[in-house]
Structures are given as C-alpha cells and as structure tokens.
Amino acid sequence: MTNPADSPAVRRLDDWNRDRLESLAATHETPLYVIDLDRVTANYTRFSSAFPDADVMYAAKAHTGKAVLEAVLEAGGTIECAAWGELQRSIDAGADPNELQYTAVNPPDHDLDYAAELGAENPGLTITIGATDTLERLAERGYNGRIAIRINPGIGTGHHEKVATGADAKFGIPYKRVPAVANRVREAFDLVGLHAHAGSGVLTDDLEDHCRAIERVGDMARRVGDDDLEFVDVGGGYGVPYREDEPPLDLEKTSDMVREAIGDLDAQLKLEPGRYVVADAGLILTEVNTIKKAPDTTVVGVDASLSTLIRPAMFGSYHPMLNVTAPDRDAEPMTVGGPVCTSADVFAHDRPIARPERSDILAIGNAGSYGYELANQFHSQPKPAEVALEGDDARVARRRETLEDVTRLEQ
C-alpha cells in the first residue's frame, strides 16, 4: 500500500494501471465499478491531516458500500449519515453508534423511529435537525438526547444549482430563527452543536463564497454561546477536479480560510468530506459494442448507461474518459452513450478519445462518489458488480445483480 502521506492530491485516469483494469474487466465483465480502498484511506488521511484538531466525519451518502465504510473507520474516521439506512450500514461496518451523527432532512416516521430508538440505547448519538417539526416528532417518541441545529446560512456554493444547499429553503433553520430554536432545544434536549452545509463540489476558486457561509455559522455559534456547545459542524462539499485541466483543491489554503472564517471558538470544529474521500478512488469500466458514423459526430455505444452512472444526465456532469485498451491511438471527437432509450443517456459529447473499436474497454473516471449510490434499474438493467482493490488484492465487494434481483419483489 502507498503511504497516504506520499499520495498525490488528485488521481487522474492515466494514473491507474491499465493492464490491471483490462484484467478486471475480463474477469468480472462490464459494466463494472472499481473502488480502490488504498486511495480512500489516502484521501481521508490527507484531508484529516489538514485539519488536525477537527473531527473529520465521512459523509456516508457519497458511497455507502461496506468496504468503503470499513476503510474510513480503519483510518480513524467517524461517519455522518443522512438516512436511517446509512446509520444501520455504518453500524454493520463496525461504527460505534455513539459516534454517529444523523442529519435528518424531512425524515420519514420510520427514520425517526429508528433514530430515537438507537439514541435511547446509545446516548452518544447526535441527531441534527433542520425543522422545529422534527423536534416535536422526536419529543413524541420520547427522545431527549443530543441535538445539533442545522442552520440555513442563505449562501449556496458548489458545482450545480441542485447541490447548493446553503441557499435552499429545504435545508436548515432560517438564520434569524436559530437563537430562538436554540433556546427551545435547551429546554427539552441536549444542545451539543450547530451545523451547516453550503454546497457540494467546492474547489479552490469557490472557497470565498464557501467561507462566507462558514463565517455566518461561526458568528451564530458565538451568538448562541459557543462555550456551551460541543462542536460547530461546517459540513462538507469539498470537491475534486473532474476535468483534466482543473487543479486539485488546495487543502492548505482551504484549512487556513476555513479556520479564519469560523473564527475563535471554544467548540470543536467538525467537517464532513464525502466526495473528496471517494470520488477519484473509483471508476467504471465499460465495453464498446457499437461504432456509428453520423453526419456531425461518431457515436460510440457502450454497455454502461445512465442506470450505471446518472450524474451526467442529472447534473450535466463531466467525467473523464480513457480508452484503456488502446490509449495511444489517435484521438478523435466521439459521442459516447449507453443502451437506454433517451437522449440523456450520454457520457460525452464530441469528446477527443483515442479511437475506439468494438470490444475495447473504456474507463469513466471519478465515479467513486455518487456513482453506485445513484445507480438504478431503469430498462430492467441489473446493477453492476463492484470490485474493491486493496494492495495487490481484488475482491468482489458487491456481486452483479441478476434479472431475478430486479424482479424478486414483484407479486
């Protein structure tokens, strides 16, 4: 295993061992997710080292696979969860429920039932609320434990408007109402922290807006009494460069700016990186099945689709691509799409790629974050397998679904 301290700040597709990738595709078929656990560990260690006095919690929603959760826990991390299933899966991976943080967003009754019961048995569990309704519903369930208040700072950042949560009314208590809600929490619960999350996919150029939101969180912490709080959680959202010419996040600058923005606090700083930990640790291998010349482009058909990776269709996201089989062929503009019957099922438009041929293996990079988590069964396509790499070892972390898996709940 590579020493995490020596790992590069960003891993490009060219950095993967192409012979190993071709062997994985041949052994496990395609489409195939590949997650490198050594890279997960290195990314978490690098980030946490930049914030040595903070509690760095991995945001499980980025990739909730058991192998990933185990790697984070082994690296000394704790876990932030956004749904009851993530809580249970974290516990199954070995997390101490007393160290988990559950960020409830319009939680269904079942989620609150589970969280309240878990908190009763494990008083260290923290529940983050973003609506006073959630307080009332927790009280109805007999919960009187640890509460953090999610603040809506009114400032959103990130790679797309759909992830700029800091300015979205769906998330958090309106800023001006926080002091009154804090007093209300103290009457019936244990107020332990404040929380905010400005957005997702934050890179160095986005830090100014990101830190304006953090500054507001620090101001509010001092206003409600940071000496009476255990922590102030400024969320995650720290990004990785998806495009080949984008530089990686400057962690030293990020650490300096975040600390300056939050200001002097008696409470501990918390952060919740998710994408940063897993994005460049994962990729998708897909096989070329069709080459079609069209008037304005060459269409390359592959066996992966938007049911494999939905981010390009959902967010217009750019994911780097590499012809693993023949990277040295002349590059030509290609439109790469899958077998799903919609124009949204396209991974790249007129992208220069080493000229593919049928049966070539292509790699789709930066798929470790919100890749498998958003995979679906549209067109009755079974979800792909996922292989976990650790040192020289490779193991199936999730087997490939069958059509029986797709239909087994039907009656």
The enclosing domain of 111 has a CATH number of 3.20.20.10
Where a domain ends, among 224, 256, 273?
A: 273
Other residues' Cβ atoms within 10 Å of the Cβ of residue 172 = 27
What is the per-residue pLDDT for 165?
Answer: 45
Do both 248 and 307 map to the same domain? no
Is residue 259 located within the same domain as residue 292? no
Residue 6: pLDDT band by 50, 70, 90 thresholds? low
Shared-domain flag, residues 181 and 293: no
Q: Which of 169, 294, 341, 409 is catalytic?
A: 341
Q: What is the SS3 assignment for 54?
A: coil
Name the DSSP class of 325. S
Give yes or no for a contact between 102 and 125, defined as CB atoms under 8 angstroms apart. yes
Contact of 381 with 307, CB cutoff 8 Å: yes
Percent of the chain with pLDDT strictly greater than 90: 87
Find out whether 223 is annotated in a ligand binding site. no
**170 falls in which pLDDT band (50, 70, 90)?**
confident
d(CA 164, CA 16): 32
Q: What is the DSSP letter of 241?
A: -
Query: Which H, E and C letters describe 327-377, residue by residue?
Result: CCCCEEEEEEECCCCCCCCEEEEEEEEECCCCCCEEEECCCCCCCHHHCCC
User: What distances in angstroms separate CA 384 from CA 51, 173, 301, one per listed residue?
Assistant: 36, 39, 17
User: Once rounded to an integer, what is the mean pLDDT over residues 289-309?
Assistant: 96
Residue-level pLDDT at 391: 97
Q: What is the tens place of the pLDDT at every residue in 84-128?
A: 999 999 999 999 999 999 998 899 999 999 999 999 999 999 999
Q: Is residue 60 part of a domain?
A: no
Q: Measured between alpha carbons, how far is 161 from 314 in angstroms, rounded to an integer? A: 12
Residue 18 belongs to a domain: no
Instruction: Please confirm, yes or no, whether 211 is among the known catalytic residues.
Output: no
Residue 162: predicted pLDDT: 41
**Of 248, 273, 298, which residue is a domain's last?**
273
- Within-domain flag for 11: no
Same domain, 323 and 237: no
Task: Residue 129: give the domain boundaries.
Answer: 96-273
Please report which confidence band the pLDDT of residue 158 belongs to, taking 50, 70 and 90 as the band edges: very low
User: Both 107 and 178 in a single domain?
Assistant: yes
Asked if residue 250 belongs to a domain, the reply is yes
Place 209 in a pLDDT band, splitting at 50, 70 and 90.
confident
Annotated binding residue at 141?
no
pLDDT at 168: 58
C-alpha to C-alpha distance for 331 and 353, rounded to whole angstroms:
5
Neighbours of 245 (CB within 10 A): 5
User: Do the domain assignments include residue 201?
Assistant: yes
Confirm whether 398 is domain-assigned: yes
Predicted pLDDT of residue 122? 98
* Average confidence (pLDDT) over 130-156: 92
Q: 244 labelled as ligand-binding?
A: no
173, 132 Cβ separation under 8 angstroms = yes
CATH of the domain at 294: 2.40.37.10
Has residue 121 been placed in a domain? yes
On whether the CB atoms of residues 163 and 199 are closer than 8 A, the answer is yes
Residues 185 and 107 in one domain: yes
Q: From CA 35, how far away is CA 51, in angstroms rounded? A: 25
Say yes or no to pLDDT of 273 above 70: yes
Q: What is the mean predicted confidence (pLDDT) over 235-264? A: 94
Of 234, 258, 273, the residue at which a domain comes to its end is: 273
Mean pLDDT of 393-407: 97
- Establish how many alpha carbons lie within 13 A of residue 60's alpha carbon, considering only the half-sphere containing its beta carbon: 27
Same domain, 267 and 329: no
DSSP type of residue 169: T
Q: Do 291 and 263 have their domain in common?
A: no
Residue 321 has pLDDT above 90, yes or no: yes
- Are 266 and 337 in a shared domain? no
Look at residue 140 in the predicted model and tell me its pLDDT. Answer: 97
Average pLDDT score over residue span 13-22: 97
Yes or no: say if 37 and 67 are a contact pair by the CB < 8 Å rule.
yes
Counts of helices then strands in the chain (DSSP H, E): 12, 20
Q: Is 358 annotated as a binding residue?
A: no
The confidence score (pLDDT) of residue 200 equals: 76
Burial of 7 (0-12, 13-18, 19+ CB in 10 A): middle
What average pLDDT does range 320-333 have in this prediction?
A: 97
Q: Are residues 169 and 209 in the same domain?
A: yes
In the chain, the number of structural domains is 2
Same domain? 133 vs 226 = yes
The predicted-structure confidence for 345-385, as pLDDT tens digits, reads as follows 999 999 999 999 999 999 999 999 999 999 999 999 999 99
First-to-last alpha carbon distance for the chain, in angstroms, is: 48
pTM metric for this prediction: 0.94
Separation between Cα atoms, residue 229 and residue 223, nearest integer Å: 11
Q: Can you list the positions of beta strands (E) in 130-256?
A: 146-152, 157-158, 173-174, 190-195, 199-200, 231-233
pLDDT for residue 198: 78
Q: What is the mean pLDDT of the chain?
A: 93
Write the CB contacts of 392 (distance below 8 Å, at least 6 apart in sequence). none
Q: Decide if 399 is inside a domain.
A: yes
CA–CA gap between residue 402 and residue 411 (Å, rounded): 18
| Per-residue pLDDT, 206 | 86
Is 274 labelled as part of a ligand binding site? yes
Structure tokens, 85: 């299933």
Tell me: do 129 and 261 sit in the same domain: yes
